[in-house]
A and B are shown apart, each in its own frame.
Chain A
Amino acid sequence: MSAEENGAGAEDQKKFLYVNRRAPYGTIYALESLEVVLIGAAFDQDVSLAFFDDGVFQIIKGQDTAGIGMKNFSPTYRALGDYEVTKLYVEKESLEERGLTADDLMEITYEDEDDDWAEKSSVQLVSRAELSEIMAAQDVILSF
């Protein structure tokens, strides 16, 4: 899809935000949320993801699920760039409250077609106040 066809803010596009507030394992919400994101990517909308509360654990480095007999689906987040899902907002306060920093997160990147395919980080740290502004600007919020 060309940049023109996929231009953000096109009139027939809506802003979809997927809100992730729960840990990746323990419940199925994180996995099934990601499945919606991947299917939704085919619809050419303006998509972003927010991670806060325990949701920040979804994109933490070095996940190992061998001991709990579940599939480790964390590599899928790193493929989001290939689906043109390139805006992952992570709330700073949620990281701090859990003793985490940006260094604990996976490297999730995309190639910017508008900047000679330069590799850029999809992860943006935002404050709680900034996140509330981002949420207020959405058309559709799906929280799992």
Chain B
Amino acid sequence: MKFGILVNEGPYTHQASDSAYHFTKAALEKGHEIYRVFFYNDGVNNGSRLTVPPQDERNIQNNWTELAEKHDLDLVVCVAAAQRRGILDENEAKRHSKNADNIAPGFRISGLGQLIETGIECDRVVAFGD
């Protein structure tokens, strides 16, 4: 089956991102296709490479990045939601005259159209939120 994943909460405060990660990993192991993982609302914060959780805890951003590298996943952060919350890639930082960017490897910033397209293209969209 072709799945789209929507993550609507940030890391650590809510379990949503962890649950989405475990679902995505399990679906891939079962041979399903993950068309895209879309990060919206506070979910965009999962795409910051500047998180530094204690070493004996899971690193949620690293988990996503490693899963993306292993399975060539498309991790998309909504640009409008990201701008509100300070998640920028190099282009966005330049465009808004900010002196740093923080998007994590494996993530890319794009528009909400990518979420609608996910709904159109997938057999199921599974949302993880509060």
**A interface residues (Cβ-Cβ under 8 A, vs B):** 14, 16, 28-29, 32, 35-36, 39-40, 42-43, 45, 139-140, 142-144
Per the CB 8 Å criterion, the residue count for chain B at the interface is 17
Bound Cα distance A39, B112 (Å): 7
Cβ–Cβ < 8 Å partners of B8 in chain A: 144
Bound Cα distance A36, B8 (Å): 13
Q: Is the CB of B41 within 8 A of A42?
A: no
Bound Cα distance A139, B111 (Å): 22
Bound Cα distance A44, B6 (Å): 21
Cβ–Cβ < 8 Å partners of A28 in chain B: 41
- Closest A-chain residue to B80, C-beta based? A35
Bound Cα distance A143, B9 (Å): 13
Bound Cα distance A140, B122 (Å): 9
Is the C-beta of B40 less than 8 angstroms from some C-beta in chain A?
yes
Q: Is the CB of B81 within 8 A of A140?
A: no
Cβ–Cβ < 8 Å partners of B113 in chain A: 39, 42-43
Cβ–Cβ < 8 Å partners of A35 in chain B: 80, 112
Q: Is the CB of B41 within 8 A of A43?
A: no
Bound Cα distance A80, B129 (Å): 26
Inter-chain pairs besides A16-B116, A143-B129, 13 sampled, C-beta below 8 Å: A28-B41, A29-B41, A36-B40, A36-B116, A39-B111, A39-B116, A40-B116, A43-B117, A43-B120, A45-B116, A140-B120, A142-B6, A142-B115
User: Given A16-B119, A29-B41, A32-B40: A140 and B125 within 8 A (CB)?
Assistant: yes
Q: Pick from A35, A43, A140 the residue with the most CB of B within 10 Å.
A: A140
Q: Is the CB of A14 within 8 A of B41?
A: no
22 contacts between A and B (CB under 8 A): A14-B120, A16-B119, A29-B41, A32-B40, A32-B81, A36-B112, A39-B113, A40-B115, A40-B116, A43-B113, A43-B116, A43-B120, A45-B116, A45-B119, A139-B119, A140-B120, A140-B125, A142-B115, A142-B127, A143-B127, A144-B8, A144-B129
